[in-house]
Amino acid sequence: MGVKKIFSGVQPTGNLHLGNYIGAIKNFVDLQNENNDCIFCVVDLHAVTVKQDPKILKQNVRETAATFLACGINPKKSIIFNQSSVSAHSELSWLLSCVARMGWLNRMTQFKEKAGKDKEKASVGLYIYPVLMAADILLYDATHVPVGEDQKQHLELARDISKKFNTDFDAPEFFKIPEPLIQKNFARIMSLKDGKKKMSKSDPSELSRINLTDTDSDIINKIKKAKTDTNPFPTNTNNLKSRPEIENLIGIYSSLSGKKIDLIFNEFKDKNFSFFKEKLSELIVEKISPISKEIKRLNQDTSYIDKVLQDGSVKAYELSSKKIQDIKKKFGF
């Protein structure tokens, strides 16, 4: 397999959590270390689809970049930048919203979930969020996009937009058709309090998620309080779907340890949940504690983070400026 062109983004909407790490950032690091061409973007334009405090947003942009670095993304190998610093993202988003169809966007389940009951009051930006995501990807001719399972539908839309543009402008190879890279098992990490809801930064309950900045004692406490049930530890996958909280905790254990699920059933059979939770906490602390300490250290060094973002923006600008000119020519501008 040749070198892949990787693009992915993370919203600066607060502390990143274990779901962001397992579903996305851990894979970013692996792809970078396999020597692919990688661009990792702090998608601040996506963040403002819901109201943000400008001061906190600025801080969150830096913190997200610090988290990328603390997890192992190396600015000498990968481009790290924030989306609003390269105006071609916004320009292309408008152009692609003239290619995308209303019917396609009406099917997007994330809009329905995030807009909630009162969708008339949601921003237009939240509705066309997937078009901006398509622009991010297509602008850099990305061939592969590592995302959590929750973003699969948006990526399919990016593929549809790419194909329609190529057909409409009679330019079969103009945009690449990007492939999603979604891990096969446990690609969606769920809330520790409700196994049917995804782990999310915007969940009001701190106990629902493990933040990458949590202390060891926060982690131990949250896992202790994570929802389980009164049945014994499972010995196989039968009935696991009807025990979503248990399935989720086993999924976290499997993703972080690299152990297959059968091995985990074997390791914990005849043990009670408090023993499993103890081992799970130890594993999470082992993986997250070095990241958490590094985020805290980098958060003090704002001039270094700003320099990383600034250097990344220059490189992203260089890569995108020819493509946006070519796109405008296609429209006749």
Looking at 6, 24, 280, 284, which residue binds ligand AQP (CB under 6 A)?
24
If the CB atoms of residues 50 and 283 are measured against ligand AQP, the closer one turns out to be: 50
Q: Which of 80, 88, 96, 147 lies at the binding interface for ligand AQP (CB under 6 A)? A: 147
| Residue 199 Cβ vs ligand AQP, minimum distance, rounded to whole Å | 4
Give the integer Cα–Cα distance in Å for 93 and 139.
Answer: 10
Look-up: residue for tokens 């994330």? Answer: 110
Q: Which residues pair with 5 in a beta bridge?
A: 37
How many residues contact ligand AQP, by CB under 6 A? 18
Which of 5, 144, 198, 277 contacts ligand AQP by CB under 6 A? 198
Residue 287 binds ligand AQP (CB under 6 A)? no
**Amino acid at position 155, single letter:** L
Tell me the per-residue interface mask from 107 to 146 with ligand AQP, x by CB under 6 A, - otherwise. ----------------------------------------
Among 26, 198, 222, 287, the active-site one is 198
Q: Of 84, 93, 151, 211, which lies in the binding site for ligand AQP, with binding defined by CB under 6 A?
A: 151
User: Which one among 185, 202, 230, 300 touches ligand AQP, defined by CB under 6 A?
Assistant: 202
On the CB side of 137, CA atoms within 13 Å amount to 31
H-run or E-run covering 6: strand 5-10
Tell me which stretch binds ligand AQP (CB under 6 A): 92-100, 199-207, 215-223, 317-325.
199-207
For the CB of residue 147, give the shortest distance to ligand AQP in the complex, in Å.
Answer: 4
CB of 61 closer than 8 Å to CB of 82: yes
Piece of 11-19, 79-87, 160-168, 319-327 that binds ligand AQP (CB under 6 A): 11-19
In the set 4, 5, 7, 10, which binds ligand AQP (CB under 6 A)?
A: 10
CB under 8 Å to 186, separation ≥6 — which residues? 22, 248, 251, 252, 254, 255
CB of 103 to ligand AQP, least distance (A): 23
Nearer to ligand AQP, 147 or 280 (CB): 147
Which amino acid is located at 40 in the chain?
F
Residue from 143, 162, 200, 313 that binds ligand AQP (CB under 6 A)? 200
Q: Which residues contact 1 (CB under 8 A, 6 or more apart)?
A: none
Counting contacts by CB under 6 A, is residue 199 touching ligand AQP? yes
Cα 241 from Cα 243, distance rounded (Å): 5
Q: How far apart are CA 248 and CA 223, in angstroms?
A: 12
Residue among 58, 114, 164, 227 flagged as catalytic: 114
Q: How far apart are the first and last CA of the chain?
A: 38
| Rg, Å, the chain Cα set | 21
| Cβ atoms within 10 Å, residue 2 | 6
Q: Shortest distance, CB of residue 230 to ligand AQP, whole angstroms?
A: 26
Contact window for ligand AQP (CB under 6 A) among 12-20, 171-179, 248-256, 321-329: 12-20
Which distant-in-sequence residues (6+ apart) come within 8 Å of 113 by Cβ? none
SS3 content of the chain, % helix, strand, coil (to 5): 60, 10, 35
Q: CA-to-CA distance for 156 and 163, rounded, in angstroms?
A: 11
Interface with ligand AQP by CB under 6 A: which residues?
10-11, 13, 19-20, 23-24, 147-148, 150-151, 188-189, 198-202
Q: Which residues are catalytic?
A: 114, 198, 201
